[in-house]
Structure 1
Amino acid sequence: MKTLLRGVAVLPLAFAVMAFDDAPPADEDRPAAERPDMTPVETHGQLSVEGNRIVGEHGENVSLAGVSWFWSTIGWGAEKFYNKEAVAYVAEDFDASVVRAAIAAEEKGGYAEYPAEQIAMAQAVIDGAIEAGVYVVIDWHSHSAEDRPEDAVEFFTLMAEQYGDTPNVIYEIYNEPLQDTDWETVIKPYSLEVIEAIRAVDPDNLIVVGTQSWSQDVDEATASPIEGHDNIAYTLHFYAATHGQSLRDKAQIALDNGYALFVTEWGSVDAYGKGAPDHEATQVWVDFLKANELSMANWSLFDKDEGASILKAGASPTGGWTDDDYTEAGLLIREIVRGWDE
């Protein structure tokens, strides 16, 4: 009887061993990309550029999706959204992997007039992104940055000194040069000056370079690219209700030239930020971005009464938004960002 019982006792043990062998691996044994508890930065770590792709520290192609804040200009009303709580809520509610701080560089209301206030707003968004485990684009938001390169050098040197040792940080050194601002003689020399200032402190975090014609002429920029520096991408901006196949053709030329692009700003509405979202045109762009594994941040987290705003007037500046707080564009963008990795 004792022998029989011993044999019976072995059977459950054997089945238990078989079941254990067939069980899925515990989270801590899974690759980072398969672990649901990992933040985007824990998953991908330090970003770099390989050919025309942005890659993570394990060599995987990375395509980020998230939201850009509105201009941080003092007196324009968007300052109230520059807080860690708003960043945390966007990271959670949108399932965003990147946010963008659009730090105003212009003389009136921007860094030139209020440097301490602009630095504080940048720090709030950056600190919030680090706490949330998402990437953060530090954007020098200007249409004439070449007029005051010393401000950009000063600002980005400080950002690199404070945050250059964190993998979360992405430097965007010139939001949108104008159509008549020449790449070869103006934008490129300015960019090299700022890049060299950043690289003197931070040798490896990603730098995104603005391009001529409101960051659309990526074909021309990549025909005469920045040389002598690694981990450089080029800025592509579009507004779906205005820009179509001709701009995608420019982007494709840049990619075919072998250079990485980053869509640091885009809208589902027209180029003036007005009107209703063009759902069909937006989907064509989303398909293009996904097919080419491009990263993006949508314009913009603000409650201004315009089509591009994600929030309705009076929405809380610190998150906790319901569906009723989102505009038509906001609901569309949240859906797109939430489904980015699907």
Structure 2
Amino acid sequence: MTPNTSTNRPLELEDLGRFVVPAETAISPDGTLVVFTRTETLNGTAHSSLWAVSDGSEARPLTSGPADSGPQFVPDGSAVLFLRASDGPAQVYLLPIGGGEARALSCAADFPLGVAAARVSPEGLRLAITAPVSRNATGSVVEEPIVIDRLGFKTDGLGWNAAVRLHLFVSEIASGHVRRLSDGDWNASEANWSPDGLLIAFTAAIEPGSDLDWTSGAYVLDVDAKMPLPRRIGQATSVSGALSWSPDGGSVIAVGNRAPRTGNAELLRLYLGTDAADASLTAALDRNVMARLPGLPRRAPDVSCRRLRDPLLPTRARLDAAARARRRWHGLTGIARRAPPGGLCPVRGVRLRACGLRAHDPAEPG
């Protein structure tokens, strides 16, 4: 919350508009800078902008908003990719860290309904884009009348889905050339590039009847194939959200369960091109692993951090260390967060490195 001299009182409705929330963090490749989305309420309207902070310095604004989100560094750390929705549906922008104006990398001509997510390729030359598209023959967003032939016809906070689905595209940064990679009566998650830049991994409920049995799997697409077709990863039938690649490109990390069930979600390792069984990385954990931001499993840059010793095999104690590091991150950004009884915060995700799982701790040298 913003500073207030009267803090010893119950929370009131008017206080909700005074909260300032940091989220969607991106760490520079050299580990010296964190860019995050700062969301607040200004004049009764949600306002989000990008801010930057480094250890020992005050947070500073990078953009003025009012609808900037999803920051991520390009591989060489010279610029930040983000989404901006100030004049219509969100499009992809690139902002030089050293100063200068943000420039658009996508446009309404290619993405009339905007962009939901974008990920830059390992070599920094292409974007994997998840974007809403209309499956109507006319391209219109709304069917008249709306035809409902399966569950999931509405989305909380958005309303009727009608003929709109989320699908995958690849865009060349230099030329702006866009090519569609997927189609069908299903929604693709945010896509992540393989370490060699040849595949993108995502989750989707592609199988017939998935709306009835709540199944969703992990898939890869060959970006350069003339007719790319989704290829299944692992055996898990209840995973969702973004996937994270192992450094060797032989497996992905997913959030979910081996099969649909009620209870905590797990962190699963799914293997490509093999019949190896899916491995649960959090089987002994007595809490939920969240699939959505800010708890997405991601690879960490090469920064000073505390090692969680066994590669890809976290224990409760090691994940508790990740939770403690997260609380210290809240302290770094100026947002206080109390731990629940017992001194532990829910685990919101982990970060994956070549040497294993690590939790970045800004308060410790490594």
TM exceeding 0.5: no
Whichever of the two has the greater Rg, that structure is: 1
More strand by share: 2
Between 1 and 2, higher relative CO (CA 8 Å, sep ≥ 6) is seen in 1
- TM-score of the pair, normalised by structure 1: 0.32
- TM-score of the pair, normalised by structure 2: 0.31
